[in-house]
Amino acid sequence: MEHKFSKRLLQVQASPTLALNAKANALKKQGKPILSFVVGEPDYDTPRVIVDALIDSVQKGRTRYGAAGGGAELRQAICAKLRRENHLAFSPEQVVVGIGAKEILFHLCLSLLNEGDEVVFLAPYWVSYGDQVVAAGGKPVVVPPPESGLDVTQQIAQLESYCTSRTKILILNSPNNPAGYCFDEAALRQIGEIAKRHDWWIISDEIYEYLSFEAPHLSLLNLFPELASRFILVNGFSKGFAMTGWRVGYAAAPLDVAQILRNVQSQSSTCLPGFIEDAACVAIEHGIGLMEKEIASLHRRRDLAYGLLQQIPGIQMEKPQGAFYIFIDMRSWLKMQSSKETSMELCARLLETFHLALVPGEAFGAPGFIRMSYAVSEADIVAGLERLKNALC
């Protein structure tokens, strides 16, 4: 029976955030008054101008197969966006479009990794990085969080000590899921100087680019253009344009990477529907200005949730600078409890007893933390954090 399935894929776990969200939804259907802060999804609708563009495209018959890795018009629009907003120069041939940034990241692992190659990234990290690496035959190597707080500069300083001759890829994620931090210029310069000393591929996951609250988003390539031959930018439309269900992601990469990535795409999902590509062109041409009100709303919700959490004794957190999550450090609180709960056990109890759905830090390589998404209504934030306070105090 051990030969029945792929040994590599038997090591891959189901996404814990999706599993927890499914459980919360099942309890809701049973009539439980669940307040969920689990899924990384804005609670506002896709802007009407994008929806209208899709409807118009369907009515014009754009329902046939498209080009593998994205049509020329969308890839050109992405290049124009990267020049206009990010001051980065890519050609359309260097851009590959896929079914969400998640698929692009997975296909990059398949394209770049050989058996036993190592991929290094900082904890806390997005839940899929490790399993995608394992599925491609690689080995994830995680730089753990500090014993106290979340000081990313400490982790960057330790980065090289976790690397070996098998290190193939460095994954960066800013704004960060789940911690909400953003790499500032000093941190990026620290990373860039390290990267210059090593022949690694650098995958920069910038999916939360538009949700950088305190300062404009900055990419490593802006500061270190000499890394262009091994720098791969990954982004998408899910978070910044509230297009999670539309599944539009892309990579901008060196030409040789883009070619192999497009080949993989041609044997996988092939292409987006043409009508979605047309709508994506409209979204990217409007840019961040299309979402100003929604982003300002998330900023207010961040401040509301952070302020309420500060009133709960025994917990700690860094004020997030971007994305729409707060990563709550429960380690001191957990140590003080006679029950000796883990953060995973705490989240299970919060869901079952207090009907409050939060994600345990174990999912992100950071036991002792819990993640809260504040991409929900202000009323739900107030009610949910009142439940959390009652559960902890």
In the sheet with 369-373, reading across from the earlier edge strand, the strands are 325-329, 369-373, 359-360
Q: Which of 47, 46, 107, 44 is nearest to 253 (CA)?
A: 107
For 230, the enclosing helix (H) or strand (E) is none
Give domain limits for the chain: 7-45+291-392, 48-290
Contacts of 295 (CB under 8 A, 6+ apart): 210, 211, 213, 288
Q: Indicate the DSSP class of residue 212.
A: B
- The answer to whether 261 touches 107, Cβ cutoff 8 Å, is yes
Per residue in 48-68, pLDDT tens? 999 999 999 999 999 999 999
**HEC profile of 237-289:** CCCCCCCHHHCCEEEECCHHHHHHHHHHHHCCCCCCCHHHHHHHHHHHHHHHH
Q: Which of 130, 124, 107 is nearest to 12 (CA)?
A: 130
CA distance 231 to 224: 10
Task: Give the three-class secondary structure for 9.
Answer: helix
Can you tell me which residue has the tokens 């939360």?
A: 208
The alpha-carbon radius of gyration of the chain (Å, integer) is 21
CA distance 248 to 105: 12
Can you tell me which residue has the tokens 């941190």?
A: 187
Ramachandran angles phi, psi of 261, nearest 5°: -65, -40
Range 7-45+291-392 classified under CATH 3.40.50.300 = no
In b/e form, how buried is each residue of 22-59, taking b as 16+ CB within 10 angstroms?
ebbeebeeeeeebbbbbbbbbbeebbeebeebbeebbe
CA distance 190 to 354: 43
pLDDT (0 to 100) of residue 17: 67
CA distance 227 to 300: 37
Question: Which residue(s) pair with 357 in the sheet?
Answer: 36
Per-residue pLDDT of the chain (393 residues; tens, 9 = 90+): 557 888 888 887 777 767 777 777 787 888 888 899 998 888 899 999 999 999 999 999 999 999 999 999 999 999 999 999 999 999 999 999 999 999 999 999 999 999 999 999 999 999 999 999 999 999 999 999 998 888 899 999 999 999 999 999 999 999 999 999 999 999 999 999 999 999 999 999 999 999 999 999 999 999 999 999 999 999 999 999 999 999 999 999 999 999 999 999 999 999 999 999 999 999 999 999 999 999 999 999 999 999 999 999 999 999 999 999 999 999 999 998 877 899 999 999 999 999 999 999 999 999 999 999 999 999 999 999 999 999 998
Contacts of 89 (CB under 8 A, 6+ apart): 82, 83
Q: In the CATH hierarchy, which fold is given to the domain comprising 48-290?
A: Aspartate Aminotransferase; domain 2 (3.40.640)
CA distance 332 to 314: 7
Question: Which residue(s) pair with 203 in the sheet?
Answer: 171, 232
CA distance 304 to 374: 9
Angle between helices 292-309 and 378-392 (to 10 degrees): 20
